[in-house]
Amino acid sequence: MSRFVASLAGLLLLGFAGCRSRSEKPQPPPAITLSLVAVGDILMHQDVKRAADVDPGGFQALWADLIPLFQGADLAFGNLETPVSPTFGRPGIPFQFNAPGSLPAALRASGFTVLSTANNHAFDQGGRGVRETLERLRAAQLVAIGSGDDQLQAESPQVLERQGIRVAFLGFTDLFNLDLNRKATEPWVRPLDLEPALLAVREARGKADLVVVSVHWGNEYQHAPTKRQRDLAKALVTAGCDVLLGHHPHVLQPVELLEVAGRKALVAYSLGNFISNQDRMYRADQFPVAGGDSRDGAALNVRFERRRNADGRDQVAIAEAIIEPLWTENNWGTPVNRRGIRVIRVLAAEARVRAELDQLADPLGGPKTAPEEALRRKTILEKQEYLRTLILRRKRVAEVVGEAFVSR
């Protein structure tokens, strides 16, 4: 009898569970997400290359703080503002760059996936330099946009798929130091001609879920976008661009959400320098804040989501966009034997220095770090000045790109 009661109870429970499952509305599937991290100009000044030469970690050591960020993203972008042509090119000189053959592998190992090669330094080592750069990037499994072995290749979108989401990348430059575009069958760097650019974006829109456009444009060292930049941004968004990544000014410019005809797109007018030797003499205690602007950088983190609309159709849209402030540390002018340049994540550095100051201020913990009182006080003053620099640069980045986008 007890077995019968137990079986009946089990059947009733199953029945109730069945009724409950039929009455509940099915839950929508979780959103599919894709992440993109983008930084600005990768500049190969002589001292940047020297810093990589003397560091056992090579180029990766110069941006080691950023490697987890790049490797953790589905796609990582930067503007490669140098040829990589050690075979066919000449050694780099001021305003005419060339990078060693070790750079592409270091960028790929760091997590970069897509590099713009359409900029005013693309032809610094001539047409053969363009071709060698592309060969070396391909060998390192890096995707180049905006230049090609010929015009067709340079002007074809690069479509990558991550998390089942197709992303089309297009690259353009509005500026040339030397324009060697001659024949469509020779190495080519794609210029920003408006009508062909708009057509390219529309065509890419039909091939992908997202369209990312890289543009080398604007005025150097100017934080305000020009009217041309704003007009071009609006036109490109209208044509179907979802994210516009700008570079060339060597300082940051605003980031904004641009809505055109019901579509929202993210425009970063300039992501500033990622790594360089510019403003190397700047010290926060000796220069006005603007004196360090070319050492400010930004890591733009964009998260996209694929969701199903009420009409049953899937849509990929921006779910979140955050700027993480970066700063290029530079030991120029200090009495050291080894040249040091490295990019740091400002918020993480702030947290670390605050913790170190707390320890130094602790009468028990402090002396363990700096046993002599005079040394302890000197260390505290140095770290307080460094912390002041970090806070100043973080606020400067937020002021330029827009407070709403800066992570805290």
Question: Beta-carbon neighbour count of residue 64 at 10 Å?
Answer: 15
- What was the pLDDT predicted at 335? 78
261 lies in a domain?
yes
Question: Beta-carbon neighbour count of residue 238 at 10 Å?
Answer: 16
195 and 78 fall within a common domain = yes
- What was the pLDDT predicted at 147? 98
Of 53, 108, 64, residue with least CA distance to 344? 64
- Residue 375: domain span: 346-398
- What was the pLDDT predicted at 307? 83
Count of domains for the chain: 2
CATH number of domain containing 156 = 3.60.21.10
- What was the pLDDT predicted at 11? 39
- What was the pLDDT predicted at 13? 40
Walking along the chain (408 residues) 10 residues at a time, the average pLDDT comes out as: 40 42 61 95 97 97 98 98 95 90 98 98 98 98 98 98 97 97 98 98 96 98 98 97 98 96 92 98 94 98 88 86 98 86 98 93 60 83 96 98 91
Residue pLDDT, tens place only, 79-130:
999 999 999 989 888 889 999 999 999 999 999 999 999 999 999 999 999 9
337 lies in a domain?
no
203 and 147 fall within a common domain = yes
95 and 149 fall within a common domain = yes
- What was the pLDDT predicted at 375? 86
Share of the chain above pLDDT 90, in %: 80
Coil vs helix vs strand at 181:
coil
Half-sphere exposure of 186 (CA within 13 A, CB side): 10
123 and 254 fall within a common domain = yes
- What was the pLDDT predicted at 199? 98
335 lies in a domain?
no
Tokens (6 digits) for 382: 């140095």
325 and 214 fall within a common domain = yes
Q: Which residues pair with 32 in a beta bridge?
A: 306
